[in-house]
Amino acid sequence: MFDTIADRLITTIISIGSLIFPFIESIEPTFTEVQFKVVGNSLYLSATLENCYTTELDKVITSGQSVMVRFEAELFSEKTKKPVLKQEFFRSVRYNLLDKRYEIYLSEKESRLFVKDIDQVHQNLVTLKDVKIIDSSNLRHGQQYYIRLSALLENITFIGGGSELDLMLFWNNHRPIVNTSSFNTTIFMQ
């Protein structure tokens, strides 16, 4: 019974909001604080996505609908235009209307966080800390490489599967992308 009431409430909130969303002012997020860390033969990446929340997006997050941020890390050789290696991972958040707390799932660590405050959601949903990207065996000696990191908001499907809302509207349909500084296999010898 509570599930049905909660589902109807979420559908109503998002349906009403979807009439307003096409007219919202959007923002363009950017990556900052991009850093490498080498542990043994593995390269880890940390970064923060800034300027990525609006009041309207917060309303979608607190509606109880699952919201997902998908990240893509691509390894490029400076000699090629196609990625040598690609890794995808995501973060998702869902607000439990009954418990009044947010559940955040971090796919790269296969772990869950439970927080009560939207500010904690903001921080944990888009702050990457020591995400394993590559091993030294993925690199060739003598070649220069860089990593391209990007993010996108996945569409949400309304309950009942009727229609979707393109959350990238909140980001001005702009997928934030950053290229790291170049490196080679000597990064593992420092």
- 28-32, 66-70, 157-161: range with lowest mean pLDDT: 157-161
Here the tokens at position 5 are 């009431």
* Euclidean distance between CA atoms 25 and 54, whole angstroms: 9
* Euclidean distance between CA atoms 135 and 57, whole angstroms: 36
pTM summary value: 0.84
Set out the domains of the chain in order of their start, with CATH numbers: 2-189 (2.60.40.10)
| Residues 102 and 121 sit within 8 Å (Cβ to Cβ) | yes
- Model confidence band, residue 7 (pLDDT cutoffs 50, 70, 90): low
| Residues 146 and 76 sit within 8 Å (Cβ to Cβ) | yes
pLDDT digits 0-9 by tens, 68-112: 999 999 999 988 889 999 999 999 999 999 999 999 999 999 999
- Model confidence band, residue 50 (pLDDT cutoffs 50, 70, 90): very high
